[in-house]
Amino acid sequence: MSVYDLLLGKPLATSEERAEHIGVAAGIPIFGLDGLTSAAYGPEAALTLLIPLGIGSVEYGWRIISAILVLLTIVYFSYRQTIAAYPNGGGSYTVATENLGERAGLLAAAALMIDYILTAAVGISAGVTALTSAAPRLQPYTLEICLMILVLLAIINMRGVKDTGAAFIAPTFLFVGTLLTLIGVGFYKTIQAGGHPVAVHAMPAVLPASVGTLGLWLLLKAFASGCAAMTGVEAVSNGVMAFGEPRAKNAQRTLTIIIGILMVLLFGIAYLAKTYQVMPMQPEAAGYQSLLSLLVTAVFGRGWFYYLTMGTVLLALALSANTAFADFPRLTRAIAQHDFLPHVFILRGRRLLFSHGIYALTGFTAIILILFRGITDRLIPLYAIGAFMAFTLSQAGMVVHWRKEDKSHAGRVWHMVVNGIGAVATGITLVIVLVAKFVAGAWVTALLVPFLILIMIGVKKHYERVQAEMAEPRPMKMANLEAPVVVIPMARWDAITEKALRFGLLLSKEIKVVHIHSDDAESADSGLEDVWEHMVATPIRDAGATMPELVTIPSTFRYIISPLMDYILKLEGSHPGRKIAVLLPEMVVQHWWENALHNQRVQVLKLLLLLKGNQRIVVVNIPWYL
Amino acid sequence: MSVYDLLLGKPLATSEERAEHIGVAAGIPIFGLDGLTSAAYGPEAALTLLIPLGIGSVEYGWRIISAILVLLTIVYFSYRQTIAAYPNGGGSYTVATENLGERAGLLAAAALMIDYILTAAVGISAGVTALTSAAPRLQPYTLEICLMILVLLAIINMRGVKDTGAAFIAPTFLFVGTLLTLIGVGFYKTIQAGGHPVAVHAMPAVLPASVGTLGLWLLLKAFASGCAAMTGVEAVSNGVMAFGEPRAKNAQRTLTIIIGILMVLLFGIAYLAKTYQVMPMQPEAAGYQSLLSLLVTAVFGRGWFYYLTMGTVLLALALSANTAFADFPRLTRAIAQHDFLPHVFILRGRRLLFSHGIYALTGFTAIILILFRGITDRLIPLYAIGAFMAFTLSQAGMVVHWRKEDKSHAGRVWHMVVNGIGAVATGITLVIVLVAKFVAGAWVTALLVPFLILIMIGVKKHYERVQAEMAEPRPMKMANLEAPVVVIPMARWDAITEKALRFGLLLSKEIKVVHIHSDDAESADSGLEDVWEHMVATPIRDAGATMPELVTIPSTFRYIISPLMDYILKLEGSHPGRKIAVLLPEMVVQHWWENALHNQRVQVLKLLLLLKGNQRIVVVNIPWYL
């Protein structure tokens, strides 16, 4: 156990739950890393599409990012309200289910699950891709490094929410710190230079415009791509339960800080790109650098600060998958509580976490990483969809929530308007993203969502059937308590079968010892009939106990199992209402490999009795320890 | 079942065994194909090593093959005697065990098992390599084709020995027929031309001699390589049991015909190579053709007969693996009868064959083919060793056998001399092969043999321990028949646990209902204490039955299994001599995927009870069918 303790921490008692609740300082790295790191690729995703505009793109990019900032503000206010309204964890799933109905809830659930799995896969893979492009020698090990980071994240998260927060504070603050420094210094230099700073290093030549005017379609596509900068902001609302009291206040504060920093970062990056006249490079261009790399070079040159910034960006990206680890298990737990997922997701593990959610996320992420061999660029379009579907459903749900609210509630209409604007804005964005990215892969999400919903409905149906059979607990029935008919398959008489027969005598007065007689001279099965009289019948007669019946069944084709099964099922048919107890002696060996040495008929028989049996057939394992 | 019947034939009754016995005509393809096809590669293996001698190699090759023919004659006579002496299957394993002791028997067993697995792998792979060099388009599918042929052979053999014989008669006789035609026509042309026939097609130019004289070492190496032509001749002696009466006579006749044909083939090929002055080509040479291909071209040119012959050689090679399928299961059965392998190898399947031997051979061969991706040239040196080790042990065993024989036995000394010469000759050959091929890979066999022997000894030890515990069957003890203490783990009160408790009441008056109380508010485990009184206690009291004891165990860390296990083991400790029956309700679902929806604690508990339990703990499965 000590290896476990060392790796995962000592088990926590259920009463220690309160101590595991986190504050704002831990909340920011846990729930914010994914949202904050979006700043590292969101603006570039938008600006890349504008390259055909030439130098004009800098100006348009600035406007698109401003539009995203407005949308972000709307989303911020509506999530703030959601947290206040659902202090017990107001994830999109809960909000949609409670206000828009089960189907909408399932839609949100499926979208969010896909979103989180993709967040984990894309986050890790983006970090590792950045690493391997810096150190090409590591390229062949891309997948291995990805999986290592995945396992590391899983282990850290298994240690519980407190330890996770502690582990991620440093990388998060380093990431935010270096980017804020970049923005601050760039801003200062811009002002110093009267609005037209000169880059420390020469920037790549700006490509001439290849299109004259900006089409609406291009604008929308750029906006849709830039919305990747907003993924991850729903994380806090899904994880409110992790915070200590005052829970809602703490969560709101965390959300405010995260979105505040994110807006500063987005604004700063867009502003510097504009004043330094930096355009993103085509990813397939020779000597490609990311927009962030170009900006740091422009403001600081290629000194130690450049390498520090790029290093922390890379680290933060790789660790941004952690947000998925924080939210996915809480989400699956909420879904399982509504019977739409297996109940194991409700169980809390040794560190009070919903460990099966962590296992599931790790498993699915590993599958995706392995399928795509650690290179998941193509998945990026998929995952903004999940996020925006969840945004929209949650905002729409909040509108209904406020409408149902008591009319006297202060600010009810105002709340409704904020969430309504949020719903419409994110809904429009969702449609834009879907249309713009459908061919690029969004169709995969469009297929996966209904598939997941079908699975969840199947699970629910199953639990409902179980529930129906259990129905109301009723007092125990004491009628018809009759001893079972005991069946003991017996190949030969030895210490093992003696043990089984002794147990059978305790169970019932009606015992059938079934001997399958194969007329195969080489089999070791024969001889029971010869010893039965003096080994078994005489002692039992002497003791005055009821005599078991020896049933010998010939087997022409040397089958053992099927005549036995036939006999048991026939016996069950001819004793309606009686229980049939089948006693199966089982050899328990010391080493696993010794299992190969005893023929596995008992296991096959057990399985068949379970599959073909019914309520009245009971299997009793009589273990024999060597 | 009808798919099985179609694929593998209808099951055969044990009484039909006699009808499954084969005669000489079926014996030749079943036991002879491996030996006969050796003629296709044995002479070439010897002659290739002589290439450095230039044209002189033709003469030396002729002499080496004559020496091999002498050795083959000796081996023939001694195996003939072995069959007569052991009409119940005188495989090397049996002969060595009975005459030289257990250790020698194990050595023969290990050598033969390796030999057969390699025969199967190398045979299939040689045929497929020939096929893919004729049709290079199939090259990428080498492994797949190999595995397909393997599965095909396994299925044919599963149909029983009669069907197998019928399936292989045509390819065998086609193979023998075309080669005999080649030899006959070549012989006729040679005589016509006064001993110096002219090849129809020009042969590749004979390389000039690069060494002047023939060293002893080269001679020995060529001889050792040529001995590959003798592998497979032991097959009949291992399979005597498959023949109908007069068993020994039929087996001897089969052996005589097989070895007779093989000698004619070897002699003919060597003779034609000499008169047509054909030398083998270096395998790495451009436009490489096998010796056989060169000979057919020389005698017949490249007409339809060339393609027919090469096609049948290829087919026969691929099918020569079948001999391993005929002998391996019989060998493993004999070993298992001596307790050195798991007893499943003794069981006869639906077609009266030792099916587990076929499974094992198929499995191991598949592993080797997959490991080497279907290209097993490098394995060829390994497998002559196994064969010659078995030869030597069996001949040496026969010498001892005759010495123990009654002195009045006619021809006892003569038999001893024949087998003695056989033992010495094959023993010397074994040493030569080992030394000559050690670096080329024979060391692998030298490592594998002791490893296999260790496994077999381990298996025997296990069975001996089991035997010791079963010892002599003794009459049933009727003393101390006391009802068990019943333990029923119960999370909540419902129809399932009611069923378990009802069964428990039948078993004993001492029932412990164990409820693990996790103070986790979200778990569904609670509530049992609340309903216990009116749901359970009252009805039982009213019926006047003995009251079960409700044991509530708090679980601070939410563990369920370990407090349960602790309780059960403690209970067992405090009730010495009593049986503990643990009743485990198990949900039986309709679809396999539904198993994921019920938490798997019952399975874990069952496993733990089996592993950590002892003779006195019995598990009773109470199935609940949805």
| pLDDT greater at residue B622 or residue B541 | B541
Residues of B in contact with A19 (CB under 8 A): none
Residues of A in contact with B606 (CB under 8 A): 621
Q: Which of B106-110, B351-355, B495-499 has the least mean pLDDT?
A: B351-355
CB contact under 8 A, B610 and A621: yes
* Token pair in block for residue B549: 């004891």
Residue of B470, B581, B597 with shortest CB distance to A462: B597
CB contact under 8 A, B506 and A523: no
The Cβ of residue A465 has, within 10 Å, a number of other Cβ atoms equal to 14
Which among B307, B323, B179 has a CA at the least distance from the CA of B237? B323
Q: What's the gap between Cα B553 and its chain centre?
A: 53
CB contact under 8 A, B14 and A518: yes
CB contact under 8 A, A477 and B519: no
CB contact under 8 A, B624 and A615: yes
Buried b (16+ CB within 10 A) or exposed e, A177-209: ebbebbbeebbebbeeeeeebebbeebeeebee
Q: What's the gap between Cα B371 and its chain centre?
A: 17
CB contact under 8 A, B620 and A625: no
Residue A473 falls within a domain, yes or no?
no
DSSP A349: -
Yes or no: say if A243 and A161 are a contact pair by the CB < 8 Å rule: no
Which among B456, B437, B454, B455 has a CA at the least distance from the CA of B445? B437
Considering the domain architecture, whether residues A329 and A453 belong to the same structural domain is answered as: yes
**Arithmetic mean of pLDDT, B349-360:** 83
CB contact under 8 A, B344 and A599: yes
**Quick check: B453 pLDDT over 80?**
yes
What's at B371, amino acid-wise?
Answer: L
Q: Please name the residue of chain A whose CA is at the shortest distance from the CA of residue B596.
A: A342
CA distance A507 to chain B (A): 6
Residues of A in contact with B522 (CB under 8 A): 346, 348
Strands of the B485-489 sheet, one edge to the other: A549-555, A511-518, A485-489, A580-588, A617-625, B617-625, B580-588, B485-489, B511-518, B549-555
Test the B interface: residue of A1, A5, A14, A542 with most B CBs within 10 Å: A14
Angle at B96 between CA B93 and CA B99, to 5 degrees: 140
* Token pair in block for residue B100: 């030289």
Yes or no: say if B487 and B579 are a contact pair by the CB < 8 Å rule: no
Residues of A in contact with B520 (CB under 8 A): 14, 348
Helix/strand/coil (H/E/C) assignment for every residue in A430-468: HHHHHHHHHHHHHHHHHHHHHHHHHHHHHHHHHHHHHHH
pLDDT tens for A133-144 read 777 788 788 888
Phi-psi region of A162 (alpha: psi -120 to 50; beta: other; left: phi over 0): alpha
**Quick check: B268 pLDDT over 90?**
yes
CA distance B399 to chain A (A): 30
Yes or no: say if B318 and B128 are a contact pair by the CB < 8 Å rule: yes
Residues of A in contact with B582 (CB under 8 A): none
Considering the domain architecture, whether residues B447 and B505 belong to the same structural domain is answered as: no
Residue of A520, A588, A617 with shortest CB distance to B623: A617
Considering the domain architecture, whether residues A556 and A621 belong to the same structural domain is answered as: yes
Q: Where are the beta strands (DSSP E) in A217-345?
A: none
CB contact under 8 A, B588 and A594: no
Yes or no: say if A104 and A389 are a contact pair by the CB < 8 Å rule: no
Residue of B346, B534, B557 with shortest CB distance to A13: B557
Q: How confident is the model at residue B213 (pLDDT cuts 50, 70, 90)?
A: low
Considering the domain architecture, whether residues A195 and A269 belong to the same structural domain is answered as: yes
Q: How many CB pairs under 8 A join A and B?
A: 221
Tell me, what CATH number does B85's domain have?
A: 1.20.1740.10
Considering the domain architecture, whether residues A274 and A382 belong to the same structural domain is answered as: yes
CB contact under 8 A, A618 and B619: no
Considering the domain architecture, whether residues B409 and B523 belong to the same structural domain is answered as: no
Q: Please name the residue of chain A whose CA is at the shortest distance from the CA of residue B523.
A: A347
Q: Please name the residue of chain B whose CA is at the shortest distance from the CA of residue A343.
A: B597
* Token pair in block for residue B469: 């515990």
> Which strand (E) or helix (H) includes residue A620?
strand A617-625
Q: Which residues, at least 6 apart from B285, have a Cβ–Cβ distance to it below 8 Å?
A: none
Residue of A473, A498, A620 with shortest CB distance to B493: A473
Tell me if residue B471 falls in helix, strand or coil: coil
Yes or no: say if A188 and A48 are a contact pair by the CB < 8 Å rule: no
Yes or no: say if A434 and A97 are a contact pair by the CB < 8 Å rule: no
Yes or no: say if A484 and A517 are a contact pair by the CB < 8 Å rule: no
CA distance A270 to chain B (A): 47
Helix/strand/coil (H/E/C) assignment for every residue in A493-518: CCHHHHHHHHHHHHHCCCEEEEEEEE
d(CA A153, CA A170): 15
Instruction: Name residues of chain A where pLDDT drops below 70.
Output: 1-2, 4, 18, 90, 205-207, 209-214, 283, 376-378, 380-381, 471-472, 519-526, 590, 592, 595-599
Domain stops at, among B432, B465, B498 = B465
Q: Please name the residue of chain A whose CA is at the shortest distance from the CA of residue B11.
A: A557
Residue of A11, A502, A518 with shortest CB distance to B481: A502
Residues of B in contact with A459 (CB under 8 A): 597
Residues of B in contact with A523 (CB under 8 A): 346-347
Considering the domain architecture, whether residues B453 and B493 belong to the same structural domain is answered as: no
Angle at B340 between CA B336 and CA B346, to 5 degrees: 10
Q: Is the Cα torsion angle A243, A245, A248, A253 positive or negative in sign?
A: negative
Residues of B in contact with A476 (CB under 8 A): 498, 501-502, 535-536, 539-540
φ, ψ for residue A487 (rounded to 5)? -115, 125
Alpha-carbon torsion angle B157, B159, B160, B161, nearest 10? -60
> Domain range for residue B365?
21-465
DSSP B559: -
d(CA B114, CA B117): 5
CB contact under 8 A, A476 and B620: no
d(CA B519, CA B503): 29
Sort B163 into a burial class: Cβ within 10 Å, 0-12 / 13-18 / 19+.
middle
Considering the domain architecture, whether residues A30 and A178 belong to the same structural domain is answered as: yes
**Quick check: B306 pLDDT over 70?**
yes
Residue of B342, B520, B531 with shortest CB distance to A473: B531
Q: Please name the residue of chain A whose CA is at the shortest distance from the CA of residue B544.
A: A478
Q: Which residues, at least 6 apart from B73, have a Cβ–Cβ distance to it below 8 Å?
A: B263
Beta bridge partners of B622: B585
CB contact under 8 A, A557 and B496: no
Residue B547 falls within a domain, yes or no?
yes
φ, ψ for residue B515 (rounded to 5)? -115, 115
Total domains in the fold of chain B: 2
d(CA A606, CA A600): 10
Residue B606 falls within a domain, yes or no?
yes
Q: Please name the residue of chain A whose CA is at the shortest distance from the CA of residue B475.
A: A535
CB contact under 8 A, A613 and B596: no
User: Which pLDDT value is given to residue A251?
Assistant: 92
CB contact under 8 A, A542 and B483: no
The Cβ of residue B467 has, within 10 Å, a number of other Cβ atoms equal to 11
User: Which pLDDT value is given to residue B382?
Assistant: 73
Render B196-220 in DSSP notation, one character per residue. ----SSPPPPPPPPSSSS--HHHHH
**Average pLDDT value over all residues in chain B:** 84
CB contact under 8 A, B462 and A594: yes
Residue A109 falls within a domain, yes or no?
yes
User: Which pLDDT value is given to residue A601?
Assistant: 79
User: Which pLDDT value is given to residue B214?
Assistant: 63
Q: Which of A291-305, B14-28, B481-495, B547-561 has the least mean pLDDT?
A: B14-28
What's at A335, amino acid-wise?
Answer: I
Considering the domain architecture, whether residues B406 and B500 belong to the same structural domain is answered as: no
Considering the domain architecture, whether residues B507 and B565 belong to the same structural domain is answered as: yes
Residue A480 falls within a domain, yes or no?
no
pLDDT tens for B256-267 read 999 999 999 999
Residues of B in contact with A13 (CB under 8 A): 556-557
Residues of B in contact with A507 (CB under 8 A): 506-507
Q: What's the gap between Cα A407 and its chain centre?
A: 39
CB contact under 8 A, A556 and B13: yes
Q: Please name the residue of chain B whose CA is at the shortest distance from the CA of residue A609.
A: B623
pLDDT tens for B399-411 read 998 888 777 777 7
Residue B452 falls within a domain, yes or no?
yes
Render B28-66 in DSSP notation, one character per residue. HHHHHHHHHHHHHHHHHHHHHTTGGGTTHHHHHHHHHHH
CA distance A225 to chain B (A): 39
d(CA A43, CA A65): 7
Tell me, what CATH number does B558's domain have?
A: 3.40.50.620
Q: Residue A11: is the preceding peptide bond cis (ω within 30°)?
A: no
What's at A396, amino acid-wise?
Answer: A
Residue B597 falls within a domain, yes or no?
yes
| pLDDT greater at residue B285 or residue B577 | B577
pLDDT tens for B512-550 read 999 888 765 555 545 788 888 888 888 888 888 888 999
Q: Please name the residue of chain A whose CA is at the shortest distance from the CA of residue B599.
A: A344
d(CA A601, CA B134): 48
Q: Please name the residue of chain A whose CA is at the shortest distance from the CA of residue B458.
A: A594
CB contact under 8 A, B556 and A14: yes
pLDDT tens for B19-46 read 778 888 888 988 888 889 888 888 888 8
Q: What's the gap between Cα B319 and its chain centre?
A: 16
Q: How confident is the model at residue B211 (pLDDT cuts 50, 70, 90)?
A: low
Considering the domain architecture, whether residues A386 and A489 belong to the same structural domain is answered as: no
Yes or no: say if B328 and B113 are a contact pair by the CB < 8 Å rule: yes
d(CA A27, CA A261): 14
Residue B7 falls within a domain, yes or no?
no
Test the B interface: residue of A1, A345, A347, A590 with most B CBs within 10 Å: A347
Locate tokens 């003919």: which residue?
B268
| pLDDT greater at residue B466 or residue A151 | A151
User: Which pLDDT value is given to residue B150?
Assistant: 92
**Arithmetic mean of pLDDT, B389-401:** 89
Considering the domain architecture, whether residues B196 and B265 belong to the same structural domain is answered as: yes
Q: Please name the residue of chain B whose CA is at the shortest distance from the CA of residue A473.
A: B494
What's at A440, amino acid-wise?
Answer: A
What's at A256, amino acid-wise?
Answer: T
